[in-house]
Structure 1
């Protein structure tokens, strides 16, 4: 099974702002290119501010839309060191053969609501596909880009040509408007080509090619009669630049060359033409950050003449890869160690996917404008970036980029006011944040003024209960009111997107892969997740998921023996859930676990599995002791601390079950306490990112079920620094 490994290196990347009104931009690393109905979509968003990890924004807004532009789901995640990981569950009954992912921060959309990161994704949905797409059915779209955005007469101009939906090895002709031949343009497999020519003044030029039996034409940009051009090449450890002008107009006698990243000027040099109209010099690469920046050429009046985007791959940032274990075949174990040579603190995300679910031409690193390390058999291969980085010329007219600083946020904020009553001098407020995801957090908040308390920088998840009371003044409780800055919302609809043609790079997808898609994977993804022994991805990381941390605490405190372990099933933190007391055990469990239903009437109810042919009931344990459903009926949720639901085939001390088992753990004596006498209010916090889980085939008996996974490994929380520069990736092959 051929696999594709993709790594995202945040400090090596700087995305293209595209004339954004904010200094923040986003790039999202997704686990793969193609998804199946019912799968999880895993992503990590990197927020860059002026080309560096953004620290101003603290909330990432994520939306999932169908291809018609209808909002399906929306989530909010806290940004830590400029990044946030998230996931979306793709519906089994997705209405379109594709999805749109939309990400933004508050700063990005404050001036323009459309200034969001958007990406179209393919979803294999045979019911909505008329058949495999081919490039022959699509019209070729041709574009021509001068290197700096402006053609100038009488000097050598370097050109980039981009052809969408083009067949491999397309050849076009560059001609003048009378049809006189100038040059042949040869396109590569990615639909890119480059050339250089000297346009004549007062002439127009065009590109011509044959599409079937039809001659197609696209005009080149208008040529400036007076101006200057620039050309860059990377050689060794330097960036060489060449500047030519075609006139002696005073404002062109002294030019300025600037390398810019957002609001930062990385390099600036004055260019004076004395004995000729040409100038050549170089910039040491060590003085530039790895990744991307803008290179601008301006005249004496500060008018932008040429502007282009450059990508720089620095030699000392390429990782060293060692294959530690490489067991071939189905379910074979793989262990890879990657040593990062850069000693600065870096944030990484890594994915290992079935190669059938990655098509390099679908959305390449060049198309994204980023240096993404796409890997194949040798893991690291930057050849596509090396061969094309000089071809990544500006796709925008030469213009001055207007950038606004990002608005500084501080996560979630609450303000508690005493109304028209003055607070005693030096008053403090006791605040308790009770979240089902992370438990209770006790805070002491000093008064902001004579009538208000304010607390910024709060991070809590899901629906949380906020208790508050002025210390020593319970009589003020009735006058206290809580104000909460609500999250922004995704628009209910966005512009519809064209279908994503993930069959475009081959005439059709291989028949054996189609068979896996149609008959195996889509029908069995959930079955695999239920029946395999799973393990959570563990890597050296400074990030600890607070939800998982709390669940581990409850697991260690309550669970023993064969029931211990969090790698499989659903874990429910009841003790910290402020809404639990308003439910009963049956409804609480069923509505928070997939594939279950309540069978029977009150007093004779049971919880059954919808994934067994005869709707088999699950086994029930209370405090590690096997019991019946009547005992569960008599249990009050106020007594419960922790619940585990493990579906599928299980082996317990009370016998085996093909439906699964429910473990219920009651509170201990020191835990059955409530926050009485305090005013409270329910608030919506951040969404919880699920943990990626994968099978552990080292245990006997775990290799009997067919492995239909398409994403074999996903870890969005990898951090390295000078003392920790090794990343270890362990996973098992699928079938």
Structure 2
């Protein structure tokens, strides 16, 4: 969020520190060259049944903004032994993507793990890749999942800023840990080991993660913390030894300012430097001659929500104190979408609807559940990923709790006292030790090809490539090999398999049997080196004829009903297809354009079947005045298309080209399509496009399938896996009204609800039981740099 972060400087002149700028220079290098991505996944459900599909919507951030670094996200499913069960990868547009994973029918009941990462993220610690446990049930498994209620818990104490100095009041964070579940209700007190019967201070834990207390230590004293939970379990923990010297940093993060209080004892440095960073960017710097209870203030309104990392350096640029805190927890910058025309009917299978107005957002992710259902946002929300766990890699139970309405800011502050910043290490950076970049971000799907003639490389040779998908040609491309016979294809976006026919473009006719092209993908899944987290569940033997938990029983019933929905939807589509009249222009559009170049807001000009489309000028000039909002401007001798005042891309057979296409023979044009606004292939833009399609073999005046020329050889390239369709019933149709049972936990799932000038309408049908609904809407307001977030139960 570079555009929102402001640099704040507080200066006290100290000549001894004026030349010590290693930390600042190292940080600048890290910020410019080693951007940090983080991933959030919204699942359609919180747990699954073997044999179901798992749908997800992905959000990839660069700091606090949608990432423009990566164009692919890799998603994998593992068991506890790190055996890979399933995998997929999805394209990212402005940091967002969606997909599905098929959970095998035979998968045994257990805790499994979703891993998500980008290629760029593999250059850094695996700890910052997303690893999310998922409960997968299978009633036919011999064992079932139960909560681990037997594992003991332990605790660790952390003094604020890492120092515990004689006579200086110090706040401690107490962090609970367990292989299983930690207690949500617990308390503690502190004693002097020489007077164990006297409680110096007492406290109650905030939650199942953390608690806090404050203490003024005396030299020579040994302090001990006594903890206990409501079940009688106890822990005795020795506090650190009291130091006779050092620097202590006390931080208070409020609505108006972040206040830093610096105290020290028996210090020898000639001056100190305080640096505050957010998202690897320096936002605050102060230089002080000595530390004697100074109070420094950072205006909170100059910063954004997120973790502020404060470091105190001595005159040799050694870190003597450090602290993490959260900025303006009392005022989280969140935009709630405006739900309009909300119409709800709690009767079984009744229709419900509402609309969402467009507010600096082109699309939203919308999930609507039966109000009794659990969501993946319950424990790990978009907000907690963006502001906490995306940068803090320790085990935090239900981090979403710290960003819900009326959440406890003191609990979050105590949690951050117990954390250490691990995105970068000051000492290593100042020594010049930065991450080694081995894997650069790919440009969507890329392939490296090698051309051989009679098994010898074909250097500096032109090669014609014809692409086809589902039997239909989708583009033509010409490449030239390098000195060793290699070439590269970048920026490909297609699903399943892309057929590539190839032929040498040489005057000398070479038999196709002597020509060979080998393709090597430029993208790949990266093996996970670490171990999966410990599960908080155990497997116990399932007894014969035992009843299933209500949630699992509903999953089993819904799985059967969903099979009926799928069959009915397939039959309906087949009937529609058979009864549909042929439309030559539509058929031409379907033949020439891929699904990524389709839009409900497109204007198609057919030069094959419509004899009225006669072009005697440049094709761009011809379009002037024929499409509302499209303006063809002449700039520096070239024609530049503008749509509603913004430039649009030009594509020739779905490959980007420059605006100078005056040399394109009009007789070779089969179709021109003007797309307004968002379309799937419009990555990096989305304002629209002019797509020009050339005539191919068989396209002479009617639509026919192209016969592949005899000199072409063909190979198949692997693309993105198709996302499984999410089927919901339409109870306005007679085909669904005789469905025997409907206990769907998810009533509506749309990872891309497009919002245009008019509000976007959401319509869904009840199941047989729902009396209230949980509506989750996620997005990002790119104009105000804030997340769009709605998670409410409505009746």
TM bucket, shorter chain: 0.5 to 0.7
Write the distance in 1 (CA, Å) between the matches of 2:574 and 2:476: 22
Q: 2:322 aligns with which of 285, 306, 309?
A: 306
* Correspondence 1:36 to 2:72: no
Q: 1:383 aligns with which of 406, 410, 418?
A: 406
Change (3 A) 1:131 1:247: same
Change (3 A) 1:153 1:71: farther
* Correspondence 1:485 to 2:521: yes
SS, match of residue 407 in structure 2: helix
Q: How does 1:493-508 map to 2 (within 5 A)?
A: 495=531, 497-501=533-537
Q: 1:96 aligns with which of 109, 114, 124?
A: 109
SS, match of residue 317 in structure 1: coil
Q: Per-residue CA shift, 1:620-676, capped at 9, x if unaligned?
A: xxxxxxxxxxxxxxxxxxxxxxxxxxxxxxxxxxxxxxxxxxxxxxx9961152353
Match of 2:236 in 1: 217
Write the distance in 2 (CA, Å) between the matches of 1:381 and 1:114: 25
Runs of 4+ in 1 over 6 A off after TM superposition: 129-132, 359-362, 532-536, 554-557, 573-577, 723-727
Aligned 8 A contact 1:256 1:300 in 2? no
Change (3 A) 1:437 1:291: farther
Aligned 8 A contact 1:362 1:502 in 2? no
Which runs of no fewer than 5 residues in structure 1 stay unpaired?
1-8, 504-510, 537-553, 565-572, 578-666
Match of 2:764 in 1: 731
- Post-superposition offset of 1:101: 0.5
Write the distance in 2 (CA, Å) between the matches of 1:384 and 1:209: 24
SS, match of residue 137 in structure 1: coil
Q: 1:319 aligns with which of 313, 336, 342?
A: 336
Match of 2:226 in 1: 208
Match of 1:590 in 2: none
- Post-superposition offset of 1:75: 1.5
Match of 2:249 in 1: 230
- Post-superposition offset of 1:279: 1.2
Aligned 8 A contact 2:257 2:299 in 1? yes
Q: 1:458 aligns with which of 462, 472, 492?
A: 492
Write the distance in 2 (CA, Å) between the matches of 1:217 and 1:361: 35
Aligned 8 A contact 2:258 2:327 in 1? no
SS, match of residue 297 in structure 2: strand
* Correspondence 1:48 to 2:61: yes
Aligned 8 A contact 2:310 2:323 in 1? yes
Match of 1:567 in 2: none
Aligned 8 A contact 1:174 1:207 in 2? yes
- Post-superposition offset of 1:62: 1.5
Aligned 8 A contact 1:432 1:443 in 2? yes
Write the distance in 2 (CA, Å) between the matches of 1:447 and 1:724: 47
SS, match of residue 268 in structure 1: strand
Change (3 A) 1:135 1:463: closer
Match of 1:71 in 2: 84
Match of 1:429 in 2: 463
Q: Per-residue CA shift, 1:26-64, capped at 9, x if unaligned?
A: 222222322222222122232223443222322222211
Change (3 A) 1:455 1:354: same
Change (3 A) 1:87 1:702: same
Q: Per-residue CA shift, 1:286-310, capped at 9, x if unaligned?
A: x323444534333333333203153
Match of 2:743 in 1: 708
Match of 2:600 in 1: none
Q: 2:288 aligns with which of 251, 262, 272?
A: 272
* Correspondence 1:441 to 2:475: yes
Match of 2:722 in 1: 688
Match of 1:193 in 2: 211
Match of 2:693 in 1: none
Q: How does 1:463-482 map to 2 (within 5 A)?
A: 463-473=497-507, 475=509, 478-482=514-518
Write the distance in 2 (CA, Å) between the matches of 1:228 and 1:186: 28
* Correspondence 1:257 to 2:275: yes
Change (3 A) 1:669 1:235: closer
- Post-superposition offset of 1:227: 3.2
- Post-superposition offset of 1:72: 0.8
Under a length normalisation based on structure 2, what TM-score does the superposition of the two structures give? 0.62
Change (3 A) 1:260 1:499: closer
Change (3 A) 1:422 1:322: closer
Write the distance in 2 (CA, Å) between the matches of 1:361 and 1:688: 25
Write the distance in 2 (CA, Å) between the matches of 1:460 and 1:430: 19
Q: How does 1:109-148 map to 2 (within 5 A)?
A: 109-110=122-123, 116-126=129-139, 133=146, 136-148=149-161
Aligned 8 A contact 1:352 1:714 in 2? yes
Aligned 8 A contact 2:352 2:765 in 1? yes
Match of 2:303 in 1: 288
- Post-superposition offset of 1:97: 1.7
Match of 2:606 in 1: none
Change (3 A) 1:72 1:83: same
Q: How does 1:439-588 map to 2 (within 5 A)?
A: 440-446=474-480, 451-473=485-507, 475=509, 478-489=514-525, 491=527, 495=531, 497-501=533-537, 514-515=549-550, 517-518=552-553, 520-531=554-565, 559-560=578-579
Write the distance in 2 (CA, Å) between the matches of 1:556 and 1:153: 82
Match of 1:84 in 2: 97
Under a length normalisation based on structure 1, what TM-score does the superposition of the two structures give? 0.67
Match of 2:262 in 1: 244
Which runs of no fewer than 5 residues in structure 2 stay unpaired?
5-29, 390-397, 540-545, 584-589, 595-698, 769-795
Aligned 8 A contact 2:246 2:266 in 1? no
Total equivalences in the alignment: 584
Aligned 8 A contact 1:329 1:733 in 2? yes
Q: Per-residue CA shift, 1:236-293, capped at 9, x if unaligned?
A: 3x3322222223625374321312313x33x1221426694231312233x3234445
Q: 1:393 aligns with which of 416, 435, 440?
A: 416
Change (3 A) 1:127 1:416: closer
Q: CA RMSD in A?
A: 4.7
Aligned 8 A contact 1:466 1:681 in 2? yes
Change (3 A) 1:196 1:254: same
